[in-house]
Amino acid sequence: MTELPLLFTPLQLRDLELKNRIVVSPMATYSAREGFATDWHTAHIGKLAAGGAGLVFVEQSSVSIQGRITHGCLGIWSDDQIEGHAGLAALIHQFNAKAAIQIAHSGRKGSSQRPWEGGGPLGKADIDARGEGPWEIAASSSIPFDNGWPAPHMLTAAEIDVVVDDFRHAFRRARAARYDIVELHCAHGYLMHSFLSPLANNRNDEYGGSRENRMRLPLRVAAIMREEWPDHLPVFVRISSVDGVDIGWSIEDSIAFATELRAVGVDVVDCSSGGMKLPRGNSLVSRTPGFQVPFAERIQREAGIPTVAVGLIREAEYAEGILKDGKATLIALGRELLWNPNWPAQTALALGCDAEWSHWPEQYGWWLKRRVAQQGR
């Protein structure tokens, strides 16, 4: 019997089995209405789930109205939003995939325009054009995200406790919606990352200063996530493995953070990078395929926790090689799946492990298998 490629070897995480190692990354589409899922989300998630990935993430969902990035962000701050999430989780399950959700607070990057509307802070022009005004943002410190952005309100200790409760209730709602996996977003300059990075955190209390103090809130929320999530199901954390080149949060910091995450019961670290405004010479070059894979490799090896590799991974053989070389345990794709949502199913064919076209919905596979037999492609 031919050995299965690792990409298509099932993976056991606690009591949950993924049918393969391919993950649909959480990709914000900024298309919710007042935080509620719409028909867009059903079409978008259904298309991605039908493509054959083992794990499908629903985009980052905000723990509070203040914690939105844009007016179009999906929310999980109200019990009324559970029904929409439950529909998305059920849709993913229909395609024999596991359903995951990323939960976040925008921090100092909130109250912003959608990317295609400029991506900057909201202002009068947005009120005039769409009736979408700004709101007060809050973060670890009062350092603006960039020139021209408003200074966020620095959260007090009591306000931090409220945010922690917001996350707790969001985790409970996610499980009520029947998601299998929940991921805490600690990357890309949002609230949790703004506590971790010395570039955004200049506090002088128990949540600032030393690395131990800067990790305190993210670790506190991660421990609550593990407490609220069923013991038999896994939890993930997404991190920015580095802020940039020789600046801010480093890979050594990420290894230390991942070690602590493992100690509180986190099962997988999802290894991204960046999210801070940096001088040009310190920005991480992101044009090379797999540019973040070395981060996943070091964290997995040195912190002893499974990792997700993500970032310009496009070729089947390259993705398989990452797994074979022990550089990561899972492979996540984002924009590549927007370009080609059938990448997982096509990859199974390319690697010779799906002679029966079983990675495709049977409504497609039955016809496509015959199409190939008739036409040779």
pLDDT in tens, 316-348: 999 999 999 999 999 999 999 999 999 999 999
Angle at 28 between CA 87 and CA 219, to 5 degrees: 90
Nearest-angstrom CA–CA distance, 36 and 67:
15
360 lies in a domain?
yes
Torsions phi, psi of 296, nearest 5? -60, -40
Give domain status of residue 194, yes or no: yes
Instruction: Indicate the SS3 state at residue 227.
Output: helix
pLDDT of residue 285: 76
Predicted pLDDT of residue 9: 97
Render pLDDT for 105-120 as a digit per residue (tens, 0 to 9): 999 999 999 999 999 9
Could you tell me the CA-to-CA distances from 87 to 46, 153, 237, 242, 284 in Å, in that order?
11, 36, 24, 35, 38
Q: Whole-model pTM?
A: 0.96
- Return the active site residues: 190
**Element at 174 (helix H, strand E):** helix 157-176
Amino acid at residue number 102: Q
In angstroms, the CA 102 to CA 93 distance is 17
1 lies in some domain:
no
Q: Where does residue 307 fall: left (phi above 0), alpha (psi -120 to 50 degrees), or beta otherwise?
A: beta
Secondary structure (3-state) at 16: strand
What is the dihedral angle through the alpha carbons of 111, 113, 114, 119, rounded to the nearest 10 degrees? -110
Residue 260 CB neighbours (<10 A): 16
Domain encompassing residue 286: 6-375
* Pairing label, strands 268-272, 235-240: parallel
Q: What is the CATH number of the domain that holds 26?
A: 3.20.20.70
Q: Compute the distance between CA of residue 46 and CA of residue 40 in angstroms, rounded to an integer.
A: 10
Closest C-alpha among 313, 271, 315 to residue 294: 271
271 inside domain:
yes
> Kind and range of the H or E element at 324?
helix 316-324
Q: How far apart are the first and last CA of the chain?
A: 26
Residue 290 identity (one-letter amino acid)? G
Residues of the chain with pLDDT under 50: 1
> For residue 297, what pLDDT is reported?
98
What pLDDT is stored for residue 3 in this prediction? 85
Residues 117 and 241: their CA atoms lie apart, in Å, by 29
- What pLDDT score was predicted for residue 288? 86
Alpha-carbon distance of 157 to 231, in angstroms, equals: 29
Please give the DSSP secondary-structure letter assigned to residue 322: H
Residue 111 resides in a domain: yes
Give the total number of structural domains in the chain: 1
